[in-house]
Structure 1
Amino acid sequence: MKRLFVIVLLLLLCGAAFFSVWGVNGIPARAEAAFGAASPNLNPAQRLLLSWRLLRAKESLTSAVNLFAQPVAFRIELGESPVSVAQRLEDGGIISDAAAFRDFLVYAGLDTRLQAGDYHLSPAQPPLMLAYALLDAAPGQVNFAILAGWRLEQIAETLPTSGLEIDPADFLSAARARNLEGYLLPGVYPIPREITAPALLDMLTGAFEAAISEEMRAGFAAQGLSLDEAVALASIVQREISVSDEAPLVASVFVNRLAAGMRLESDTTVQYALGYNAAQDTWWTNPLSVADLETDSAYNTYLYPGLPPGPICNPGLDSLRAVAFPAQTTYYYFRAACDGSGRHNFAETYAEHVQNACP
């Protein structure tokens, strides 16, 4: 019995040692998944220690201090240490944990790359984003981002924390007056802070015009679409896809349905017609109810044939190209795959479409 007890004790000690080593070895991998690659200048012990600290402070590094705060001026003096920068950021209410912020700077190798100069930093941004913003002191401009699939209102919502001196209401008023939904090309743009709403719109529409090549225009024409019609269809494609390489397939379904005189029956057009959903805090209601699908709007492609009166969002180049050069298929239907991948199952007939429903 005594011998059996010793054997069991040894097995327990070995197991504890195994899981202890496994846990230690797993810390750097978990940190890399959460915070990106570690600086190659760190030795294994430094990387392990910083990874452990970052994982403990993950919440403070990935959460903004105040989602409704306005950008504030911040200056890094020439030769100022990362410790001092981090502490002043915390003292100014821009970040919540100076020690964790400094740990991330060292972990990512950013502590030696901070640039002296003037910044406009927003407490509405997570500290991880702020860390990278401190690598480029360009007081005269900001990098303004528009994501593919955003509608005008979503772009306007980013203005207060962008560093640009544009009132969201002024932006929306100017964009709507020019019917620019769909024509603000997604991307990241270096823009002067003092730019006006009309000038910003001119810059974004100029980027759109430059991106639409003659080849793409010929592709639109080959589908029997004007530029405006092509942008409207591309906006629907953009909102339907989660995986960009499916854009030509989704475009082919809508092109085929238009050619056959079928209604597009796209949920995304109903979502656009419904507008902001306060209960869900989103511009894109999901899921849609039966009553939603009966919304009487010219944008509702379940009720009205053909394309909607205009784009429902600002599509990216992948979706625009997909409309110019759709896949050659005989598909008329698609629905989300049941594996959670974001991909779709496509069908030629309604019977096949029904069979593709999730159990």
Structure 2
Amino acid sequence: MTAASSPKTRGGRRIGRVLLGLLLLGVVLAGAAYGAFVWHMTSPVDAAGGAVALVVPKGATWDQAVVQLHAAGIVKSPWLFRLRARQRHRIVPPRAGRLELDKSFSPDRVMDVLAAGPGASDPDGPLKFKIIPGDNLFRIEERLDELGMSGDLWALDRDDAVVERLLGTLPERREGAFSRLEGYLAPETYHLSRSSPRVLTALESATSQFKKTWTAIKTKHSAARDRLAAEFGFTDHDVVILASLIEKESAVNDEGPLIAAVFYNRLRRGEALATDPTLVYRRDTWKDVPAPRHRKDRTNPYNTYANKGLPPGPICSPSARALEAALSPADSDALYFVARRDGSGRHVFTSSYDEHKKNIETFLKAP
């Protein structure tokens, strides 16, 4: 027969069971809290989504970037975000540039994008570098900076050995020409390795694509190329220059050959090309809208109102369409064109200066 337990012993057991219960409850609550934390960090910030572009300035710290993310509504709790980032070893100095984000991203994905840097909306994918037809080197430089690319575009442009290696030849540097690479970076979306993003790598991809495109086009139009060389003394570089003017003036594909015809007709007559986009091809004015005051600027060697003939170099990256138009102008005697400004992107063409003046009154000066 077992002796009855003392009240003291029974009390100790009850306390032990209570403590064990509290411990188990704490474990369950902690597990639930951690589960909720992980769920929060792997769920969309806002299921409805919404694109957000964020520019991280040079020299910004990780915490400063998170403050920007919080202000943009991408990060709800900077404290929890930091806690999770520390857990995932994602607190690294951010690269300067533009981040493409979306409110449908989870906090984990946001910190992955922040860690990977500009161009990393898909942090596991390649870095996307895009050149749009009509982009000039000034805009391309901005885009390279936004992607956090390392390297100096203009130092590479001035290096004859680099340019010759990229292009396979060294374009003539004419008096007043701003760049050697302008016009030779093919419009395209390039997928680059994000492990070591460099400006030179981007240039290698863009010039390689240009060479492929240009070789195919000039082979297709070899007879026209020979005629232009005989009539105007045009080199391949001249064709690229003219194509860049066509690119900037034409918004509708089928007008490229007509615009080319106008330029060739004016060259035959020894008249200035008078094309507005050349007026603002300068580092300090390239974002300006061409205006009458720019026509009076004789310090700009690209000014085709003040200077006859082609400008000293291309003014943008021409598309394959513009390169083809430069080698296949329309059969037209037109000397002038005016934008309709009706939303169609089209122009009115004429060979009569009197009609041209009327068109200016109709389309440019109408209320």
Structure 1 and Structure 2 fold alike (TM over 0.5) = yes
Tell me if 1:96 matches 2:98.
Answer: no
**Mapped contact 1:71–1:163 kept (Cα < 8 A):** no
1:268-313 Cα distance to aligned partner (Å, 9 max, x none): 11111x4323xxxxx2421413354342333221122111111111
1:178-220 Cα distance to aligned partner (Å, 9 max, x none): 3111111111111223254334323321211111111145433
Which residue of structure 1 lines up, in the alignment, with residue 213 of structure 2? 211
**Mapped contact 1:263–1:302 kept (Cα < 8 A):** yes
Structure 1: 5+ residue stretches without partners: 1-52, 74-88, 101-119, 278-282
Tell me if 1:234 matches 2:243.
Answer: yes
Deviation at 1:143, TM superposition (A): 1.5
Which residue of structure 2 lines up, in the alignment, with residue 137 of structure 1? 124
2:248 is aligned with what amino acid?
A: R
1:124 is aligned with what amino acid?
A: R
**Mapped contact 2:101–2:121 kept (Cα < 8 A):** no
1:198 is aligned with what amino acid?
A: L
Decide which of 316, 339, 342 is 2:342's aligned counterpart.
339
Alignment of 1:159-178 (within 5 A): 159-164=144-149, 166-167=150-151, 170-177=152-159, 178=163
- Say which is worse superposed, 341-350 or 170-179, in terms of deviation: 170-179
Alignment of 1:109-258 (within 5 A): 124-128=98-102, 134=121, 137-138=124-125, 141-164=126-149, 166-167=150-151, 170-177=152-159, 178=163, 179-193=180-194, 194-212=196-214, 213=216, 214-224=219-229, 225-258=234-267
Cα distance in 2 for partners of 1:304, 1:251 equals 18
Tell me if 1:269 matches 2:254.
Answer: no
Cα distance in 1 for partners of 2:182, 2:122 equals 33
Cα distance in 1 for partners of 2:51, 2:294 equals 38
Cα distance in 2 for partners of 1:67, 1:339 equals 39
SS in 1 for 2:98: coil
2:356 is aligned with what amino acid?
A: H
**Mapped contact 1:347–1:353 kept (Cα < 8 A):** yes
1:69-95 Cα distance to aligned partner (Å, 9 max, x none): 79999xxxxxxxxxxxxxxx9888288
Cα distance in 2 for partners of 1:227, 1:269 equals 20
Cα distance in 2 for partners of 1:256, 1:221 equals 18
Cα distance in 2 for partners of 1:243, 1:335 equals 14
TM-score, structure 1 length as denominator? 0.62
SS in 1 for 2:272: coil
**Mapped contact 1:270–1:293 kept (Cα < 8 A):** no
**Mapped contact 1:152–1:313 kept (Cα < 8 A):** yes
Query: Size of the alignment, in residue pairs?
Result: 260
Deviation at 1:161, TM superposition (A): 2.2
SS in 2 for 1:264: coil
TM-score, structure 2 length as denominator? 0.61
Which residue of structure 2 lines up, in the alignment, with residue 304 of structure 1? 307
1:87-143 Cα distance to aligned partner (Å, 9 max, x none): xx988828833599xxxxxxxxxxxxxxxxxxx9988345359979655722xx312
Q: Report the CA distance shift for 1:136/1:222 in structure 2 as closer, same or farther (over 3 A).
A: farther
Q: Report the CA distance shift for 1:338/1:204 in structure 2 as closer, same or farther (over 3 A).
A: closer
1:302 is aligned with what amino acid?
A: Y
Cα distance in 1 for partners of 2:70, 2:158 equals 34
**Mapped contact 1:248–1:322 kept (Cα < 8 A):** yes
**Mapped contact 1:71–1:123 kept (Cα < 8 A):** no
1:137 is aligned with what amino acid?
A: D
Cα distance in 2 for partners of 1:136, 1:285 equals 35
- Say which is worse superposed, 199-208 or 180-189, in terms of deviation: 199-208
1:196-249 Cα distance to aligned partner (Å, 9 max, x none): 433432332121111111114543333333210000001111111223332122
Cα distance in 1 for partners of 2:205, 2:222 equals 21
Cα distance in 1 for partners of 2:302, 2:224 equals 25
